[in-house]
Structure 1
Amino acid sequence: MQSTNFRRNHMLLTDYFRSTPDLTWDIALSCGVTHGTIRLPEDAAFDVTSAAHLHTVCERFRARGITPVIVEPLPNELHDHIKMGDAMRDECIEKFIVLMKNLAAEGIHTVCFNFMAHYGWTRTANNLPERGDAAVTGFDLAEFSPDETVLTHDQMWKYYEYFVKAAVPYAEKFGVKLALHPDDPPLANLGGVARIFTSLDAIKRGMAVMDSSNLGVTFCQACYRLMGERLEDAIPALRDKIFFIHFRNVCGDKTCFRETFHDNGEIDMAAAMRLYVENGVDVPIRVDHVPTMPWEQSDVAGYDAIGRLFAIGYLKGIIEGVEHGNL
């Protein structure tokens, strides 16, 4: 017998899907996930400004029973130039505005973006040992080898403000929410490249650039933990700005950490879920990174397929336990 969708509260369970069907699609569907955080194609055949191309991708998901609700990330072919503030920035912002209009027409009203220039989210290892010989990603600043790229904090704030002031009015027009992911790892600098979203105060500053209900955050709880912020402070402080949750666990600090199974890190995951529920954070959520199983060939570290079985089931259990007052 087909089970009903898991949606007893307003927190919408999603998973992360690449644009071509693979095992992660099958696993998520088998776990009862029916809504998708989708990554758009990154090949020359896909035009980010084409409504027809986007519709084809969305229909591919819908044909499998997955409703796309979030795009993550803002496509790198646009994002990279926007974050670097280079000569292609304005063209890329214009393309993003067209993309937002097309996303809204497809019923996709959230875009997860970040402002990690040049390096993006960064790890120095992809095969650190976890429970039962599973492997996880990690970061050790002592092992990081930067190149010669230099960007200052003043430059990064200038580029961020430029983007927000250009994009948010159109996000409001089209009904699209822009959800800022914090820097990962949340270090002040990676080599010579400044990171600006590395503390709760910095996130608040980023939100204050424009007073808009369409500018908010992707609350990646592991990043806030690595910042040294207390979730008990950060979640209430941002409750009205949280548009999307990355439910992930870690061990260590921002200079040296590793990811874990969801139940094997330093974050009390049930307590975190209680904080979301108590603060009325009823937004889409996904399990984020997972370990690679010992018998599994790793295709994309953190996003391999089999570990999602445990992670999605764990998240569903946490949600149900908190809802029913059992956790």
Structure 2
Amino acid sequence: MVDPALILPPKPDERWQLAKQMGVTKTVIHPIEIGDARTHWSFDDLQGLDNWLTNAGLDLSVIEGSVPISDRVRLGREGRDEDIETFKQFLRDCGEVGIPVVAYDWMAGVRWARTAAHVESRGGSYVTEFDNAKVQGGPPSEAASATHEDLWEALEYFLQEVTPVAEAAGVKLALHPDDPPREELRGVPRIIGSVDAYDRVLSAYESEHNGLTFCQGNFAAMETDIPDAIEHFAEHIHFVHFRDIEGDADRFVETWHDEGKTDMLAAMRAHEEHVGDEVPMRPDHVPTMAGEDNSNPGYHTKGRLFAIGYMRGLREQARAEQ
């Protein structure tokens, strides 16, 4: 079963109140997505944030995006052990504060990629696009010297090191798919782009604390049957990104949540039937709507209000059918 969640800023503003007005109390902290360049949280940062949210009637459910994993770790380069120790302490701090999920990714060199942010959609709204043909050229990334097996060795080493710490801290790890889920991007190898890849991740360290962020848009770009994948990974889904696309990993556009290629009611039925209790599900990459300036594409407020209402309606229907 899933529970609606929202990215909220670390400091209170009207979005905290709007969340509660919508009946959403699960909070996701992802500073990059709200224009904050923070890359590390100290224990005092985490404790202070949790105290503020709790006092406001909100629950700090997930930290994602701004977690201390360097490319030295992702590529298995010299210095990774020092950086892994930093991440281990971060997990201990999250556990002590009571933050149950840490979402992370394994995209080295080039991270999330979009090539347009003013693609016109329904009613003149704007959505984002990725087109692999538009990201070619330029000097090679330093990460392009790595191989797919370099990244696999680094990830498997990382999981062997950190999963026992996550278990002891009571924190669940939720690995996000590569976005876009391609074999490579601008010459940099990528490895988290298929169901088989996640099977290898989960077998690298078998633990309920080694799991995934089920980003529906990325699984759709993989040409994966979404309900089947949800059932397949159910016990390891610790966090859900509710979004949809039209297209594939070579070229896609984000869509309104009710207009993409995925049967979203079937997806919600699968989450409700197979996934563990109260897994946070947040809307992702929403359209920019009338009156919004598109300065933060995919993360303005009105599209998220629409998405939460849509998610709650789908969940109500799925639960009524059980």
Q: TM-score, normalised by structure 1?
A: 0.90
In the TM superposition, what is the alpha-carbon distance from 1:225 to its structure 2 partner? 1.1
Contact 1:185–1:226, Cα closer than 8 Å, also in 2? yes
| CA distance in 2 between partners of 1:74 and 1:96 (Å) | 11
Q: CA deviation at 1:175?
A: 1.1
CA-CA distance at 1:79 after TM superposition: 3.9
Q: Distance in 1 between matches of 2:111 and 2:40?
A: 23
Partner of 1:143: 134
Aligned to 2:27: 36
Cα pair 1:135 1:294 within 8 Å, conserved: no
Query: In the TM superposition, what is the alpha-carbon distance from 1:40 to its structure 2 partner?
Result: 5.5
Judging by fraction of residues, say which structure has more helix.
2
CA distance in 2, matches of 1:79, 1:47: 11
Give 2:316's aligned residue. Answer: 320
Q: 2:265 aligns with which of 265, 270, 283?
A: 270
1:111 is paired with a residue of what secondary structure? strand
Give the secondary-structure state (helix, strand or coil) at the position aligned to 1:306.
helix
Gaps of 5+ in 2: none
- Offset from partner CA, 1:184-241 (integer Å, 9 cap, x none): 1111000111110111011101111111111011111111111011113211211121
Name 2:49's counterpart in structure 1.
57
Across the aligned residues of Structure 1 and Structure 2, the Cα RMSD in angstroms comes to 2.0
Percent identical across equivalent pairs? 38
* 1:1-327 correspondence runs (5 A): 10-39=1-30, 48=41, 50-75=42-67, 77-145=68-136, 147-149=139-141, 150=144, 151-282=146-277, 283-325=279-321
Residues 300 and 20 of structure 1, relative CA distance in 2, 3 Å threshold: farther
Amino acid at match of 2:115: T
Check conservation: 2:27, 2:60, Cα contact below 8 A.
Answer: yes
SS at match of 2:286: coil
Q: Distance in 2 between matches of 1:169 and 1:18?
A: 30
* Greater mean alpha carbon deviation, residues 254-263 or residues 228-237: 228-237
Q: CA deviation at 1:74?
A: 4.8
Change in CA separation of 1:169 and 1:134 when aligned onto 2, cut-off 3 Å = same
AA aligned to 1:187 is R
Instruction: Say how many residue pairs are matched.
Output: 314
- The answer to whether the 8 Å contact 2:2/2:271 transfers is no
Runs of 5+ consecutive residues of structure 1 not aligned to the other structure: 1-9
- Aligned residues of 1:15 and 1:286 also touching (Cα < 8 A): yes
